[in-house]
Chain A
Amino acid sequence: MSASSTTILSLPDQSTATVPKKNYITAEHGLLSWLLTGDHKRIAMLYLISITFFFFIGGAFAGLIRLELLTPQPDLVASDTYNKFFTMHGVIMVFLFLVPSVPATIGNFLIPIMVGARDLAFPKINLLSWYLYVVGGTLVLATMVLGGVDTGWTFTTPLSTHYLNTHVITTALAVFVAGFSSIFTGLNFIVTIHRMRCPGMTWFRLPLFVWAHYAASILMVLGTPVLAIAIVLVALERLIGIGVFDPTKGGDPLLFQHLFWFYSHPAVYIMILPGMGVISEVISTFSRKRVFGYTAVAFSSVAIALFGFFVWAHHMFIMGVSNYSALVFSLLTMLVAVPSAIKIFNWSFTLQKGSITFETPMLYAFGFMGLFTIGGLTGVFLGSLGMDIHLTETYFIVAHFHFVMVGGMLMAFLSGVHFWWPKMTGRMYPEAISKLAAVVTFIGFNLTFLPQFILGYLGMPRRYHSYPPEFQVLNVLSTAGATVLGVGYMLPILYLAWSLKYGAVAGNNPWQATGLEWQIQSPPLTENFTEIPIMDHEAYDYEWLEHKTAHEVTTVG
């Protein structure tokens, strides 16, 4: 069969196959059974729906921003409105999409299964975490309806405390509440990974996806409270003028930025680390090989989490921090770049002597590797003190973090969603159109954000409503790219929804992958495992899988 040489996909015979009647989706019926569930898989689904909703709202704001920037003149909306657009875009995308994207959906669904447990350590806290997310999200929507907020997602004082009369408090409350949602998720993961591994599941038999989530969870639990403190201080300063950040009262306006970036720099690792976990799983599965240098990849996640806490002041090199602290933070920034390089090379070498196929998750993973490499290396520009002076606060930095967050994280998220879609729903997504979507996204992304690097070096400042006319050509390219990108993101939601009813029945292990999650039925039972598994092999052991399947009679139904 010619198809078998280009794909590893092995589906059960479609004429007789059905999705298992008993699974976590059919276990209970009615809206309340979802809203009051303790099942990590159902909560993951709730999260998936809610973050997708917010992703498209945030995306709509991005579209409006690009539309305004099509012309140099401030002609589409008023300046205040434009400022609200990019603030809402940032707040929604960072706090309501990127931070919970992979951990709260894919991570929530898979971490218990991957460690061989029936659920997370605290199912009710898991549900509470989703409700907090919804409250945070609702507050953001309320802000939007009430008239928006224009602080920028960074809430820089004293602008946010003394000079704006928009809905700063509502937004601050939203971020505060959503932050607790993230703390609870992290806490749940840490306890689950420590205490609920099945017999035989040693730390070094854990999939790298779990390692990445463990590192990200530590960041969530230790970093997010600092954001909460910073945001409460902003609210107090606004409401009763406590003066912590107000220079006329002896406060320090830079203190806010220290506190804010102490969370918000680790936050980028909260966003990217789980995505890196996805890439490890996907690359391994589609090259039929153990991840090259398992321990190096695992420890590089921990190293990123550790160093990630000591680089925050690289957001403030031009702010008049002392020259010597700038030196130290620049050096540490260079160090944190190394584990990312290690990961990229290890993934590349995982391909060596593999047996590679190119299904959609793999295409997204390749997209991730290319875009994340650019994003990472342009980060070195910004970590380099002198270069940062010219590049910071321009479109260069916008392009850089979109390469990491959108090119990296969103590609990883889509890779993961496609990869585990058969496990989550029991049905396959349509392959041809999803490959098209992956390619369209990649092209659209590059067209959108590569011109912004040039704009940044030219000096075009970020958050500008109007700009000098000589920057127009590059901005038009960027807007054109954003249109393509929009199509690339619309496609998956359409065909994934279609596949819920019409997709091919996936069977337990369509990718012939080794993870524990692939050894159980899809969609899984509410209790995941009928009996707790005993782990007797390492992660990514394809020989074990071959041995196992050789003696297995495939049953259907």
Chain B
Amino acid sequence: MGISPVLWQFLVKWLNASALFPREASTIAPWMDELYFFLLAMTVVGIILVGAIVFTFSIRYRKAVHPVATQIEGSTLLEATWTIIPLAIFLVTFVWGALLYFRIYNPPVNSMNIYIVGKQWMWKAEHPGGQHEINALHVPTGRPIQLTMISQDVFHSFSIPDFRIKREVIPGRYSTMWFEATTPGTYHLFCTQYCGTNHSAMIGEITVLTPADYKKWTEESTSGMSLAQNGERLFASMNCNACHSGNAAARGPSLAGVYGSKLTLTNGSQVLVNEAYLRDAILNPSQHITAGYAPIMPTYQGQLSEDGLIDLVEYLKTLNTNFRVQQTLTNSQSDQAAPPASGVVKP
């Protein structure tokens, strides 16, 4: 008698394959789990406390042993007790949670930036060195990685449970988070914000490599062009350098060293130039006119993809002098007066 051994084996294997607790694969994970266990303990104690009170009273004061109830008005002391103690615990939770929140969302200054573009229903990762990935992300251990994320269409959310991090990926706005992976391996990547038909297929794999393996991977999988190089091409092909030439008489402001600087706009406000500002200024120039310049820049809304914008932003970030811009300009001008190339037979 009993369960069939085949079925038994199947059940044992099935139950053993079940996950019960996520792996800790980032520096954030232990911090998160610590708070989780504190909150879990709070819940268990709370339940046991309420359960014990209810059960004790139910047994001691059931009608069979306590036929006549004693009326009690209430007790200010008890009310104060169960107002102040839960409040104190909740405030501890608040402070603890807030510290963790700032830890997760404030990247260290030396972090490596990777761009993530979400669209229905895939994740694109763009490494600064020009590696492009779809529904996958390769990262090294022991190095803080910042993700700068944007969506092309609807809200998505980038979640790596084993790293205990998640952030909404918003259309038209960069959002950032960071992590530092600790253990090589592969981990789930989920889109956790409902985004339409194939929401549950918008998943991927995070591959964490040792620094040596990561170096090997970057060399093997580069497209040959870094994001900034792509951006430079785009900059030239969109004729940005016609105005942003860096000349004193140019119609557009010089872009050299603009990233990270404080800019004064025509309306008098001061802004810090970061990735988000650069992106907005390209798409919606009339709202971002640098003081002293005329509002003549056309919008590039609809002409540039999010990937293209990332390339441009990366290019502008690397632009420390106007030397390359002017060189491009000279080249393009010399292109117009194209010298007859040898070997080309003129009609």
Contacting residues, chain A, for B43 (C-beta < 8 A): 374, 377-378, 381
Q: A386 contacts B166, CB within 8 Å?
A: no
Question: Which residues from 81 to 138 on chain B have a C-beta closer than 8 Å to any C-beta of chain A?
Answer: 82-83, 86-87, 90-91, 93-94, 96-105, 120
Q: What CA separation (Å) do A389 and B51 show in the bound complex? A: 30
Partner of B94, one of A330, A341, A349, A467: A330
Mark contacts of A465-479 with chain B using CB atoms, 8 A cut-off: 1 yes-contact digit, 0 otherwise.
111111111100000
Q: What CA separation (Å) do A295 and B83 show in the bound complex? A: 14
Q: B200 contacts A466, CB within 8 Å?
A: yes
Q: A290-B72, A349-B53 are in contact. Are A373 and B47 (CB under 8 A)?
A: yes
Question: Which residues from 1 to 50 on chain B have a C-beta closer than 8 Å to any C-beta of chain A?
Answer: 14-15, 17-22, 31-32, 35-36, 39, 42-43, 46-47, 50
Contacting residues, chain A, for B83 (C-beta < 8 A): 338, 341-342
B201 beta carbon closer than 8 Å to chain A: yes
Report the minimum CB–CB distance from A83 to chain B (whole Å).
7
Q: How many residues of B contact A (CB 8 A)?
A: 91
Question: Which residues from 234 to 250 on chain A have a C-beta closer than 8 Å to any C-beta of chain B?
Answer: 247-248, 250
Mark contacts of A181-225 with chain B using CB atoms, 8 A cut-off: 1 yes-contact digit, 0 otherwise.
000000000000000000000000000000000000000000000
Q: B96 contacts A459, CB within 8 Å?
A: no
Q: A158 contacts B57, CB within 8 Å?
A: no
Mark contacts of A307-333 with chain B using CB atoms, 8 A cut-off: 1 yes-contact digit, 0 otherwise.
000000000011110010011001100
Output the nearest chain B residue to A286 by Cβ-Cβ distance: B63
Partner of B197, one of A79, A318, A337, A341: A79
B142 beta carbon closer than 8 Å to chain A: no
Partner of B66, one of A320, A353, A474: A353
Partner of A467, one of B93, B196, B200: B200
Contacting residues, chain B, for A334 (C-beta < 8 A): 87, 90-91, 93-94
Contacting residues, chain B, for A463 (C-beta < 8 A): 194, 199-200
Contacting residues, chain B, for A23 (C-beta < 8 A): none
Output the nearest chain B residue to A463 by Cβ-Cβ distance: B194
Tell me the interface secondary structure of chain A in the complex. Answer: helix
Q: A351-B54, A354-B69, A369-B54 are in contact. Are A345 and B82 (CB under 8 A)?
A: yes
Question: Which residues from 265 to 303 on chain A have a C-beta closer than 8 Å to any C-beta of chain B?
Answer: 287-290, 292-296
Q: What CA separation (Å) do A6 and B154 show in the bound complex? A: 59
Report the minimum CB–CB distance from B215 to chain A (whole Å).
29
Interface centre among B79, B99, B153, B201, by most chain A C-beta atoms within 10 angstroms, is B79
Q: What CA separation (Å) do A542 and B72 show in the bound complex? A: 12
Q: B194 contacts A352, CB within 8 Å?
A: no
Q: A348 contacts B18, CB within 8 Å?
A: no
Chain A: number of interface residues, binned into ranges: 35 or more
Q: B175 contacts A320, CB within 8 Å?
A: yes
A356 beta carbon closer than 8 Å to chain B: yes
Report the minimum CB–CB distance from B304 to chain A (whole Å).
12
Q: What CA separation (Å) do A383 and B91 show in the bound complex? A: 11
Q: A159-B196, A387-B35 are in contact. Are A353 and B69 (CB under 8 A)?
A: yes
Contacting residues, chain A, for B74 (C-beta < 8 A): 292-296, 346
Partner of B101, one of A346, A351, A386, A467: A386
Output the nearest chain A residue to B191 by Cβ-Cβ distance: A461
A543 beta carbon closer than 8 Å to chain B: yes
B interface with A by C-beta (< 8 Å)? 14-15, 17-22, 31-32, 35-36, 39, 42-43, 46-47, 50-51, 53-54, 57-58, 61-64, 66-75, 78-79, 82-83, 86-87, 90-91, 93-94, 96-105, 120, 153-155, 157, 159, 161-162, 164-168, 170-173, 175, 188, 190-201, 284, 301-302
Query: With contacts A290-B71, A354-B61, A462-B192 known, what are 7 further pairs, Cβ within 8 A?
Result: A79-B199, A294-B74, A330-B94, A353-B70, A374-B43, A389-B105, A461-B191
